[in-house]
Each structure stands twice: as C-alpha cells, then as structure tokens.
Structure 1
Amino acid sequence: MSRDLTIVTSNVHKAREVAAFFGGSVDVRHVALDIPEIRSDDIEEIAREKARYAYDHLHVPLIVDDTAFSIDTLNGFPGPYAAYVLSSIGNMGILRLMEGTLDRNARFTTAIAFADDSGVVVFSGTISGRIITAPRGTSGFGYDPIFEVDGQTLAEIPLEEKSAISHRARALTAFRDWFMNRERTGRG
C-alpha cells in the first residue's frame, strides 16, 4: 500500500500543518477543491459528507477536516459555523460578543474524515482553553490569536509545538495511528 495521502482543503495553512504533522513519513499532497458543505451541528457528519464528495471527484485516498469552535457562554456558538463567523465578524467581533463575560471557556473540535475505495472513517480531537480579551501572537491562523491554552494563545506557540497539542493534532494522531497500522497490515 502507498503512503501517499491527499489533503483536500482551500486553507493552505491547514495543509502545511498536516504536512508538518506527518514529518515526511507520508507524502502529503494538497488539493483545493470546492466542496459543498452540508448544514449540521454534527462536525463528524459534515466531515464525512465532505470526504464522500471529494473522493467521488478525485478517486485518491484523501482526508478532509472540519472544525467547530464552541464558546460555552455563547451556547456553543459559532460551533461548526466557525469559518463563516470568522469571515463575517472576525476575532474582534467574537471579543465584542464576549465583553463583560466572566465564563470564557471554549474548545476546538476537529473531525478528520479519511476516504478511499473502501469507504469513509472519521477521527476527532478536542482541545479546551479560554478566550482572552485581546489578540496575542503572530503565528497560526483563524481564532488562534484569541484562544489560550495553558497561558499561551495558539498564535504564540510555534507550529511544531502546536502540531503536537492542537485539536487537529489530536484528530491527526488518531488518524495516523490507524492509517500507519493499516499500511503495515495491508488491511482497510
């Protein structure tokens, strides 16, 4: 079995993070494909359907991901609509929504769906933290400058370190363990 894997995303930052995560043990290729996204509160269902669509178009072993950003005091908002909310109101809009709020707990959950000719398998990972009151850091992307874990925002943590602790890293670890074992045993 081949150790080639395609990541399907329009986000070049995610593609780099995934490639860095595998550190050369898997040949990670990046393809940007416009994938219609179903509306659901279930991040795993969204990732599963995106993977089916991508595989039907590309016919290569691939992964897609979807991430939810859930803020406790906002009843889980923006959840799976994180990308839309980020492009609409940005980090400063989130900070304005949270002005005067004491409960600043939040979490990222990433679902990674792998698809090949045998079907789709989904892996997920979560990281908990809190929303700070002003952006910090210059690394990362998206909500990273306002999301703090153990005293540092994800934007203050170097990519290599972030790639080891993030929600995406946790989902990727579960996927990698399964994928590498599958490669070794030749089973699906």
Structure 2
Amino acid sequence: MSNKLVFATNNVHKLEEVNAMLNGAFELLTLNQIGCNEDIPETGNTFIENAGQKSWYVYENFEMNCFGDDSGLEVDALNGEPGVYSARYSGSRDHEKNIDLLLAKLQGVENRTARFKAVISLVIEGKEYLFEGIVEGSIRHERSGTDGFGYDPVFQPDGYNITFAEMSMDEKNAISHRGRAVEKLVAFLKENS
C-alpha cells in the first residue's frame, strides 16, 4: 500500500487534527492537491452514507486510495439534531449562526445531553472499511473558549468542566470523536501497510 492517502476534505482544521495524529506515517493529500474541485455530494441521511460518498467518489474518479469523514453533533432534546446537517444547521456554514440557532432551540431546555459522532470511510483497492468515534457530553448555555471550530465553544465533554474550545489540540484529539475514529483508522493502516 502506498503511503499516500487522499483525505476527502479541504477543511484545514480537520487536516491539521488528522495530520497531528498520523505523525508522519502517511502523506495526506487534500482534494485541492489532487485537482478535485467538484463539490462531492453529501446527500446521505447518515454519517456513514456521507463519509462513503466522499471516499468512493475520489476512489472512482481519481483512482487513489482515500478516506472521507462525516461528523456532527447529536442533541438528545432535539431528537438528534443537527446531526448530518451540523455544518449547515442555520442554512449557512457560519459556525456562529449555527451555534446561535442551537442555543435558541435549547432555550429553557434542561436536558442538554449530546454527543459528537464521527465516521470515517476508508476505501483501499476497492474495499471499504468503516471507523466510528463518539464522545458524550452536554451543551453549555453559552460559549466558552476560542480554540477549535464548529460547536466546540458550547460542547463540554463528560468528565471535564471545560469545552472543546478551551482545550489544546492535543487535549481535544485525545478524547474527541474524530480523534477516536482516526485512532482506529491509524491502527488499521499501520497493521496493513
């Protein structure tokens, strides 16, 4: 297996997080770097479907081994919203607007349990492998912290009294949903390389 892998993203934050965990074991290429400028469809109803759409799209159109991820926030009191719509919950990709909408919908709601879920679909030589990571926590009433992205300023993981946005990248990667999924991916890649 080549040590080059396409990560089906152009999200710099995700790339930094995953690169930090791979620790140089693989050379990650982004969609831009392989000349994929199309908007890969994300029309699935689940994280698994969306992650698979990305990795298969790259594998079939660029003939390169690839992994794609889909992740999001599931809030129990909102029946799992925002779920697969996490990145564009407010109708835009504006993190602040997404958080504002979430907090507005949770106004006066006592049950604030939530989880971040990430699914990675890895397609190698035409076979798909899936890796999932989950971190349980709750939604704060207001933002706290300046690091991270997305819902990090309002998500407090179980067992901590700070949000993801108050953690260093290393601290967050050690317990995050994407961190847990990537750990499984890295273990698999090292075993099979």
Determine if the TM-score, normalized by the shorter chain, exceeds 0.5.
yes
Give distance in 1, aligned partners of 2:176 and 2:5: 21
Identity of aligned residues (%): 35
Q: Which residue of 2 aligns with 1:144?
A: 152
Asked if residue 7 in structure 1 is aligned to residue 7 in structure 2, the reply is: yes
Instruction: Give the match's secondary structure for 1:108.
Output: strand
Spell out structure 1 runs of 4+ moving beyond 3 A.
none
Deviation per CA, 1:133-167, whole angstroms, max 9, x where unpaired?
Answer: 11111110001111011111111110111111100
Answer whether contact 1:5 1:62 (CA < 8 A) is retained: yes
Per the TM alignment, residue 178 of structure 1 is displaced from its structure 2 partner at its CA by 1.0
Deviation per CA, 1:83-119, whole angstroms, max 9, x where unpaired?
Answer: 1105364211111111111100000110001112232
1:181 to 183, 188, 191: 191
Q: Which residue of 1 aligns with 2:182?
A: 172
Q: Which residue of 1 aligns with 2:166?
A: 156
Cα RMSD for the two superposed structures: 1.4
Asked if residue 52 in structure 1 is aligned to residue 62 in structure 2, the reply is: no
Give distance in 1, aligned partners of 2:109 and 2:140: 11
Where do residues 62-81 of structure 1 align in structure 2 (5 Å cutoff)? 62-81=66-85
2:129 to 121, 124, 127: 121
Answer whether contact 2:88 2:98 (CA < 8 A) is retained: no
TM-score by length of 2: 0.89
- Supply the AA of the counterpart residue of 1:77: E
- Structure 2 unpaired stretches of 5+: none
Give distance in 1, aligned partners of 2:181 and 2:7: 14
Instruction: Give the match's secondary structure for 1:37.
Output: coil
- Structure 1 unpaired stretches of 5+: 184-188
